[in-house]
A and B are shown apart, each in its own frame.
Chain A
Amino acid sequence: MEQAQDALHIQPPLWPQILIMEDEMSVAKGLELVLSEEGYTVDLAMNGRSALDSFDRRDFDLLIADLRLPDIDGMEVIKRVKHRRPDTGVIVITGYSTVPSAVEAMKLGATDYLSKPFTDDEFMSAVKGALDEQKVLHAGAAQAAVAKPAVTVLEPLPEDLQQVHDIMAQIRQQFSGTREELIPMLQKVQNHLGFIPEPALEEIAHFTRTPAASVYGVVTFYEQFRLHPVGRHIVKVCRGTACHVKGAERILNEIETRFGMSPGQTSDDRMFTLETVACFGSCAIAPVVVVDDSVKGRMDPSKTSEVMAAVEPADLDPNQS
């Protein structure tokens, strides 16, 4: 029973965990705010001792270290942290920057060295750079993708809306505008754009002489239709009975852990949208994952990650972007 309840609290960290070691409360709080707005989990340590204590308790992906601290020298803390866990990212922030200290910090394995004062943008780009480097470190073990927070709703791009006009012109030619053509028309729009933008919905309503609210009612009734744009690639995990019995849930967990997406969400880089489907009817080769239009049978969590990583290999390589 106790073990069972313990288990409820054990969740792998989804987003990077960052520790800020800084004795000036105002600076520390400011940085914490910037980072947490971006979705990172942040802890504060006001001196070197408590920073080391924090590392005793758990691992962090990134240490933001001030060099002048009331107790231990910041450089010493970095040395010890790096000794214990070499793949921890380190960014040095200091008000007393000197060339020798910068050299020493880099030798110890710091990724970046920022002199105070710095802007939020400078700070964030250093953090992202450090975490990207970490990703490369981890990539050997598994093609870990960007653990950025996923987004639930994407806004249409101007290009999407420009296309509505052309598609509607085609639709007006191909269809006569009767009510029973409503669903085929909506399907056509979605086939082209991946979703149904509001202007298209209104034009179809007008064309079929149906109240826009009824068209909206139809769009929201059917699972297939989307009102918001999706990522470049759509990953569908089948949740049919056979897939469920053979571990579809484990695949969804894996995608959530690796890519930070729950069903219905799009990865931050607009690369993937994750969806679930009631059943693909390929139960004999369960569990099934469909990436774009390609059906993949007999999947497991690690194969799914591999397939997703292989969709756009260049995109997962931080050196290329």
Chain B
Amino acid sequence: MSYSAIKAKAEKQWDWLENLPQPLIQLGMGTCGRASGADDIMRSVQQTLKELKLLARTMEVGCIGMCYLEPLMAVRKPGRPFIVYGNLTPDKTQKILKRYLMEDDPCAKWSVCSIGKDRIDGIPTFEEHPMLGAQVRIALRNCGLIDPGNIDHYIARRGYSGLQRALDMSPAEVIEEVKASGLRGRGGAGFPTGLKWEFARNSLKDTSTIVCNADEGDPGAFMDRALLEGDPHAVLEGMLIGAYAIGAAQGFIYVRAEYPLAIERLIKALADMHACGLLGDAVLNSKFRFDIQIKEGAGAFVCGEETALMASIMGRRGMPHARPPFPAQSGLWGKPTNINNVETFSNVSAILQNGASWYAGFGTEKSKGTKTFSLAGKVQRTGLIEVPMGMELREIIYSIGGGGPKGKQIKGVQTGGPSGGCIPAERFDLTVDYESLASVGSIMGSGGMVVMDQDTCMVDMARYFLTFTQAESCGKCLPCRLGTHQMLDILEDICAGNGTPADIDLLADLSETVQKGSLCGLGQTAPNPVQTTLRYFKDEYEDHVLRHKCNAGACKPLFHYEINEELCNGCGVCLRRCSTGAISGKKKEPHRIDSTKCTKCGICYQSCKQQAVAIL
């Protein structure tokens, strides 16, 4: 089929949806939404509609990024904007539908924002919402707005026009366009995408292969999952453009097995693409021939590294090898191979749709465009965001994220997962781009951003990341295999109260050895969390080692809980929730904790509304 034919068909369907004479109800059915109970909400919607004998359409959409409000629902009456409602329960859903659809009360108190042209009194618009307004959504342009299982929705919103434009250009021109956009790899290292493609294109010894790296292994990062679940075609279009540019006939998507919904969406998307003539022997009736296969990962973090990923696709142990040869020279089965990240591809399709200069208009001198971040941890508005490069950390954490939970002091933010570093709150004036994050010892990484407050112990944080890298080290390079193990041993000692001042120096020393002596990114960056916490939070290490205290209340042997009798009002919440019966006290009288029975599970500390439980 030609592009104009599939476009005409898609637009017809979209027009019909836009001008639907009945109410339209959208439900966020990504993994986050489902985990928060979106399935129950869907059932409640259907039941309510039946009871009210109302004709209304329901539609599944991906994640709009406001995960802290999941489950979410958007309701549109004909000729009006969508109203988004959050924190739904089946009961609340029923009330909203009844009141809005039957009595025309938009239930403003439960609404989050409106999406669409007009505004509804008492409800902020999308642009006015503090979390959404400051964002620039390019990679996530369709997430949460279209049905990810319907290719026509994507096409109607200019989808695959980028591919059509690329096919009208020569591959070299496409590469020039991507180079001009300034796009850099979103997987972490930030290598210019256009340049990478050029290398692959130039090693024309054989047909090449293109791989989409969806092995999002960084704990704390979930933007690739949300993107594949919410708008798979944006990624697939980018992949097709890349394949055309480098001359690849075969593509692979290497996706984590932990993301079953993303895999389901991809399978559906590929089938639809075949049906529309977007894959196969003549893509959009051109001479370009291309097909894509899904490869499921099997749970090895190191497979996010290019060379290990290729070993895994070929059915081997996913261990990295030395470069050169680079994948662009000799990759899968010895053929030139180009590997890009999910988000990179989604940006590529946007660049070809809108032009390089449009894209280069966002961001900073050296880091163009936008970057998605998964904002998580101790912040009020957690979720998936996309901001222009160069935004200050402060703005992301306080304006978009809404700051820390009530009454808690934000201590720092961890970016880049186990390869990244912890940045203290004093440095929140830092802008997010590849260079400035590197300047403080962290990395952009794939975009995980975990906010930490006074209850997070930075030594424990470093120990946590080392537990991860130590377990995920493939074992090939000795400094990584044994070095991370030794570092972890030392950190565990410190967290158990058995650390000595000499341990801190040894940690710093080992960090350098592991960094220098490892072949791949895993080992080279594994010490980053330790080095940055040593640099910015050395006082916490000293508290653990010299004073045997963990003021954050994370390292169990180094603190205990006590109830402040002056603050305790004897409400009894802690007493009821304590599973070991360690708390005693009469109603309305100060309670006490029996430290011999206390297992330091922290439930009293978390559940006390008076903040009477203290860490000592």
Contact = CB atoms under 8 A, between A and B. Distances in A.
Interface string A286-321: 101000010111101110000000000000000000
A286 B378 CA distance: 10
Contact of A184 (B67, B258, B296, B474): B296
Contacts of B548: 1, 4
Contacts of A279: 217-222, 258
Given A296-B35, A297-B36, A250 B556 contact: no
Interface stretch (B45-53, B137-145, B169-177, B311-319): B311-319
Contacts of B468: 239, 278
B592 to A, nearest CB: 15
Contact of B315 (A8, A183, A296): A183
Interface string B223-248: 01100000000000000000000000
Given A3-B560, A183-B296, A279-B219, A295 B580 contact: no
B331 interface: no
A223 B318 CA distance: 11
Contacts of A301: 579, 601, 603
A132 interface: no
A243 B220 CA distance: 8
Interface string B409-424: 0000010011000000
Interface residues of A, number: 60
Given A282-B32, A285-B36, A7 B260 contact: no
B377 A302 contact: no
B141 to A, nearest CB: 20
Contacts of A250: 601-603
B375 A10 contact: no
Interface string B579-616: 11000000000000001111111110010000000000
B557 interface: yes
A187 interface: yes
A260 to B, nearest CB: 14
A207 B498 CA distance: 53
B85 to A, nearest CB: 17
Interface string B549-567: 0000000111110000000
Interface in A234-290: 239-247, 250, 253-254, 257, 277-286, 288
Contacts of A179: 314-316
Interface stretch (A38-46, A93-101, A214-222): A214-222
- Between A6, A283, A288, the greatest number of chain B beta carbons within 10 A of the residue's beta carbon is seen for A283
A279 B461 CA distance: 15
Nearest to B381: A284
Given A7-B556, A184-B296, A302-B577, A241 B377 contact: yes
Interface of B: 31-32, 34-36, 67-68, 70, 216-222, 224-225, 256-260, 295-301, 312-319, 374-378, 382-384, 414, 417-418, 448, 450, 452, 456, 461, 464-465, 468, 472, 474, 496-497, 548, 556-560, 577, 579-580, 595-603, 606
Interface of A: 1, 3-8, 10-12, 142, 178-184, 186-187, 208, 217-218, 221-225, 239-247, 250, 253-254, 257, 277-286, 288, 293, 295-298, 300-302
17 contacts: A5-B557, A7-B600, A178-B315, A186-B298, A187-B257, A187-B296, A218-B315, A221-B300, A241-B219, A241-B417, A241-B418, A253-B601, A278-B472, A282-B222, A284-B70, A284-B222, A297-B35
